[in-house]
Amino acid sequence: MRPAVPEDAEALCRALVRNREHLRPWDPPRDEDFFTVAGQRARLHDQLVQAEAGRLAPWVLASGDEIVGAVTLSNIVRLHVQSANLGYWVDATQAGRGLASAATLLACRAADTELGLHRLEAGAAAANTASRRVLAKCGFEVIGTARGLLFLEGAWHDHVLYQRLLNDRPLRTS
């Protein structure tokens, strides 16, 4: 797992095209531009601008020259909240090997030690048992269900919401 860089656009495009059907049940509808190098270049640019502003932390999971997944901390909120949303995906060829769990634990460590966050939140479609298992294995606890949260595959789907408290350090005000 390493920070995403602009040069990842081509490998990300290949990975997302390769995993289009694997990810379809859990991802919102994507336009065709998303599955192009130009689309991934623009998306990476936007992510890195947000990262520079401290609102996002994007990583890729790499195996040689290929991308086999990604982890993102988004919606980073500072002040008296110190939290972010965790999202991830893993290549179909890597599913069930512990890669998502390892990457999630690394993201939790980075959120705590590098970003100084207090809490992470994540959601998984109620039917996505594999992702829900990853979150539970990585110390996330269920905090509720968001009814009809995302429109996927032609219908509104419930998502189970999770959180993980990373630390109990006092908030630094200076």
Give residue-wise pLDDT tens across range 13-28. 999 999 999 999 999 9
Alpha-carbon distance of 120 to 79, in angstroms, equals: 15
pLDDT at 174: 58
Does position 173 have pLDDT exceeding 90, yes or no?
no
Is 47 contained in some domain? Answer: yes
Is 50 contained in some domain? Answer: yes
Domain of residue 109: give its range. Answer: 2-121
What's the CA dihedral at 130, 135, 137, 141 to 10 degrees?
A: -130
**pTM > 0.85: yes or no:** yes
Is 139 contained in some domain? Answer: no
Burial annotation 115-128 (CB, 10 A radius, 16+ → b, else e): bebbbbebbbbeeb
Using 50, 70 and 90 to split pLDDT, how confident is the model at 46? very high
Question: What Å distances lie between residue 117 and 11, 24, 59, 75, 157, CA to CA?
Answer: 30, 31, 17, 12, 29
Listed residue (140, 157, 161) closest to 148, CA to CA: 157
Assign residue 43 the CATH number of its domain: 3.40.630.30
Alpha-carbon distance of 89 to 111, in angstroms, equals: 18
Give me the number of domains the chain comprises: 1
Neighbouring CB atoms inside 10 A of 10's CB total: 13
Give residue-wise pLDDT tens across range 71-117. 999 999 999 999 999 999 999 999 999 999 999 999 999 999 999 99
